[in-house]
Amino acid sequence: MNNASFKYPDQAAYELVTAQLAAKNITYKDIAVITKELQKQYLPDVPLSEFEAETQDVLHKREVMNNVMVALELDRLATAHELKEPLESIICNDAGVFGVDEGLALNIANIYGTIGVTNYGYVDKVKEGIIKRLDEEKGDEVNTFIDDIIGAIAAAVAAKMAHKYA
């Protein structure tokens, strides 16, 4: 099972992450808008296009992609009713005390240090833009992980930008 010559499939991972986000109608720009808002008092003159480019860069990072892939697969499996009980019901109902969604999000935010973590906590509380849409979307789609993941990516980009301009 464990092949010592396994080469990490970064490009395939990136393609999966891109497809997972597209399936939820989420663009780099949607994420960049959240980050720009987070950084507006510090970086008011940096154009949205630069936040968008940094979002793409963050999404190419292996540790980020790993957490995004796992999180979004769990939303997809829950939507397809392919998880075992009680995990299926826990994720479908976005149970507040579950916490694994926030845990994976924190893995992403942590990569960029304390600025990433504090910004994730903030976006998780205020839930703006696309995060609000995903959090409130009531339909057949399970969005338990995606809202936290988007918040964490936005927070990671905010931290990256803060360090870049420090």
Min. distance of Cβ 3 from Mg ion in angstroms?
A: 34
Span near Mg ion by CB under 5 A; candidates 29-37, 42-50, 124-132, 144-152: 144-152
Nearer to Mg ion, 30 or 148 (CB): 148
Stretch that binds Mg ion, among 8-16, 55-63, 95-103, 154-162 (CB under 5 A): 95-103
Task: Measure the CA–CA gap between 9 and 5, rounded to whole angstroms.
Answer: 12
Cα–Cα distance, 67 to 148 (Å, whole number) = 11
CA distances from 154 to 42, 88, 95, 113, 158 (A): 15, 27, 23, 14, 6
Q: Do residues 28 and 52 touch, judged by C-beta distance below 8 A?
A: yes
In whole angstroms, the minimum distance from the beta carbon of 43 to Mg ion comes to: 28
Q: Which of residues 57 and 137 has its CB atom nearest to Mg ion in the complex? A: 137
| Binders of Mg ion in range 103-142 (CB under 5 A) | none
Residues 6+ apart with CB under 8 A from 100: none
Interaction between residue 148 and Mg ion (CB under 5 A): yes
Q: Which of 30, 52, 54, 101 binds Mg ion (CB under 5 A)?
A: 101
Query: Which amino acid does the sequence have at 130?
Result: I
Where does this chain bind Mg ion (CB under 5 A)?
A: 101, 144, 148
